[in-house]
Chain A
Amino acid sequence: MIVIDNLTVAYGSVQALTGVSLEIGANEFVSIIGPNGAGKTTLLKSISNVVPWQSGDIRVDGTSIRGREGWDIARLGISHVPEGRRVFGQMTVEDNLKIGAMSSRVDMAQIQGIYDLFPHLAARKHARAITLSGGEQQMLAIGRALMSRPRLLMLDEPSMGLAPLLVEQVFHHIGELFKSSSLSVLLIEQRATEALEASQRSYVLEQGRVVISGPSAKLLNDPAIQSSYLGITAKG
């Protein structure tokens, strides 16, 4: 459903992405791994059109999104769960979900669906989002993104700052979500093992370039990846 074609992004004189090409099909789970500063977040921000790109193109269902406003991208069925969760802290959990629906008519059954998915949120629905734990905020950020009924869910480092047990929980939820729907998932992670295990296909991004790509299971057994990424992950 989305094709990224030879994308180049620079912040001033700093090159963030150089000729990146990748695609995500319908109902596909793709992960992008790579070290800090490889351009992973920039890639998601380019798809959401909040950073301008210099050359190349991003096409959704065959149509370029060049020149579209950022807030229009969500309406194409692309939902972005940003790095650091960025829930609306002073608003209640329920208001955060309502705002995700992008409409004045909020389907309460849909909100209930999110609560069924993340029972922790139901218990705190009237609490301000800022009072939630990191794990709960991550669930809320995902729930908020799901409220727009996206076709593609983009997750930027959902494990960031979470305790190991919670990381496992978050990945479990994402996996379940993918299996139980027709959703496509684009996951960005520094935790390479978890990302490769969860996804079907993966890309490795280094210094703004795609250096390796292929089926996740194959990458998981690739000696080069094992030594440079999985080894690092094992050490923590």
Chain B
Amino acid sequence: MYALQLVIAGLQQGGIIALLSMGLALMFGVLRLVNFAQADFMMLGMYGVIVLTATLHTNFVLSSLLLAIPAFAAGLFVYQFIIRQVAKAKLASAPEHAQLLATLGLSLVLQNGAEMIWGATPRSLPSAQELSVWHIGKLSIDQPRTIGFCIAVVVAVTMLLVLRNTHIGRTVRAAASDREAAIYVGINVRKAYLLTFAVSILLSVIVGGILVSYYPVTPQTGSDFILLMFTAVIMGGLGNVMGAMAGGLILGLVQSLSQLIIPLELNNAVVFGLFLALMLVRPKGIFGEVTRL
């Protein structure tokens, strides 16, 4: 029973990491861009939902949805005025290197900016302090985490369906697969990149909105997650969005189930130990390093 309880907790946590990692994998798969600021946008989403919920007297789900619009706009802005300009300016040997450093800088700006505005004290949603649990037999299922997990699943499935079955999704996949061939079939690759970046930021912000319903936020919360996100992305195979989703779920499960054998404080040691072992056996990740969106 205890194991089942841990599986549920693992899936709940894994779902969040999965959705976060999917955004990161999408961005790498399409733009070949490693975004160190990805989790900081999640942190901004967490603060954003706290502010919105308090000012509008609404719940975290609605606030997250409302926040999607400025999140998308912020994504467009950051790509257009930072990421693209940095690549154009030829500041480093390769545009990807300059872009990578730019995201690292952006991460610092976002973290310190958040600290300027909201301070370093952890904040949480008022509702996050109440314990609301469903009891099914001997299992206790945490409500906000379950709602969060369900939202994560819906968003992830929607994203995969859009990528797979719509015209816009096909253009993004084509641009990811072969930039030059995509140009030959009339795809505006710049628009595809811009859109992908913005959607990927939007995913992070929505995850923030879900997470803040049970997890307190500090300006450095992003740093708690970014390493796990990269681990999930690499486990799934670089640029493989489905792989990143699987990687995220596996990480959540491993973190949670490791409590059966070792103390909770060491769960990340198990995660990274497993990760190292996996890299030795399958250096290109579980599903291989192909851009599969």
A residues with a Cβ closer than 8 A to B are 48, 50, 69-75, 79-82, 86-91, 95, 98-100, 102-104, 106, 144-145, 147-148
- A86–B181 Cα distance when bound, in Å, is 6
The answer to whether A88 and B174 touch across the interface, beta carbons within 8 angstroms, is yes
The answer to whether B170 and A74 touch across the interface, beta carbons within 8 angstroms, is no
A-B contacts, 20 of them at CB < 8 A, read A48-B184, A69-B190, A70-B184, A75-B186, A82-B184, A86-B178, A86-B180, A88-B173, A88-B178, A90-B177, A90-B290, A91-B173, A91-B177, A98-B170, A99-B171, A99-B185, A102-B186, A104-B168, A106-B167, A147-B185
B:156-170 near A, CB below 8 Å: 166-168, 170
Interface centre among B167, B171, B185, B293, by most chain A C-beta atoms within 10 angstroms, is B185
Contacts of A100 in B (CB 8 A): 185
Report the number of A-B residue pairs with Cβ-Cβ less than 8 Å: 74
Whether B291 sits at the interface, judged by CB under 8 Å, is yes
Contacts of A91 in B (CB 8 A): 170, 173-174, 177
The answer to whether B184 and A145 touch across the interface, beta carbons within 8 angstroms, is yes
Contacts of A70 in B (CB 8 A): 183-184
Closest to B167 in A: A104
Contacts of A103 in B (CB 8 A): 167
- A103–B168 Cα distance when bound, in Å, is 9
Min CB distance A19 to B, Å, is 26
- A81–B178 Cα distance when bound, in Å, is 13
Contacts of A145 in B (CB 8 A): 184-185
B residues with a Cβ closer than 8 A to A are 166-168, 170-171, 173-174, 177-178, 180-190, 290-293
The answer to whether B186 and A48 touch across the interface, beta carbons within 8 angstroms, is no
Min CB distance A149 to B, Å, is 11
- A80–B187 Cα distance when bound, in Å, is 13
- A88–B178 Cα distance when bound, in Å, is 7
Question: What 15 new A-B contacts, CB under 8 Å, besides A86-B178, A106-B167?
Answer: A50-B183, A69-B190, A71-B189, A72-B186, A73-B186, A74-B184, A74-B186, A81-B184, A91-B177, A95-B173, A99-B171, A99-B174, A102-B186, A104-B166, A145-B185
- A99–B168 Cα distance when bound, in Å, is 9
- A102–B167 Cα distance when bound, in Å, is 9
The answer to whether B183 and A71 touch across the interface, beta carbons within 8 angstroms, is yes
The 6 closest A-B pairs by CB, nearest first: A74-B186, A104-B167, A86-B181, A70-B183, A80-B184, A102-B186
The answer to whether B180 and A82 touch across the interface, beta carbons within 8 angstroms, is yes
The answer to whether B185 and A148 touch across the interface, beta carbons within 8 angstroms, is yes
Closest to A104 in B: B167
- A207–B168 Cα distance when bound, in Å, is 41
- A155–B210 Cα distance when bound, in Å, is 51
- A144–B186 Cα distance when bound, in Å, is 11
Min CB distance A22 to B, Å, is 20
Contacts of B184 in A (CB 8 A): 48, 70, 74, 79-82, 86, 145
